[in-house]
Structure 1
C-alpha cells in the first residue's frame, strides 16, 4: 500500500489561501455591516485578530504538545498565520477603497 503526501509548499499555500479568503471576505463584510450600524472599526479589527488566533490555535497546540509528530502541524500553522496576516493587512485597505471605513 502506497501513501502519498503533499509537499509542504502545497499544504502551506492551501492553508494560506483558505485563511486569506475566509478572513478577507469576512472582514470586508463586517466592515460594511459595521458602517451601517456605526461600529468602531478598531473593535472590528480586534475581534478579527482574536478570531485569527482562535483559527490558528489547534495547530499551535499541536506543535507545542506533540513535538516529534508536529512537522505537519507546523506547516499548517505557517500557512494559516501567513494567510491571516495578509487578510488582516489587506482587508482594511479594500474596505476603505469601497467606502466602508
Structure 2
C-alpha cells in the first residue's frame, strides 16, 4: 500500500526546507562578505540565482507533466520559502551588523 502525503504537507515541508537553507546560508554569506570586503549586491544576486536553480527541477518536472500535483506543490513551497528567506535574511544580517 502506497501512502501519499497531502499536497499541503509537501508544500509546507518544501517551504520550511528552503527557508532554513536560504535563510541561514544568506546570513552566513553576509558575514563572510563583510569580513572579506565583498559587495553585498553580489551576494544578493548570487542567492537569487541559487534560488532559481533550487526550484528548477520542480519547474522542469511541471513543464514535462503539467498535471503533476506533486511537482506543483513542491515548486510552490520552494518558491515561497526562498522568497521569504531572501526577503527577511538581509534584514537580519543588517541587524547583526553585517550589511
Query: TM-score, normalised on structure 2?
Result: 0.97
Structure 1 residues not aligned, in runs of 5+: none
Equivalent runs, 1:21-100 vs 2, <5 Å: 21-68=20-67, 70-100=68-98
**CA root-mean-square deviation:** 0.7
Which ranges of structure 2 fall in alignment gaps of 5 or more residues?
none
How far apart are the structure 2 equivalents of 1:97 and 1:5?
42
How big is the shift at 1:67? 2.1
TM-score (norm 1): 0.95
Deviation for aligned residue 1:9: 1.1
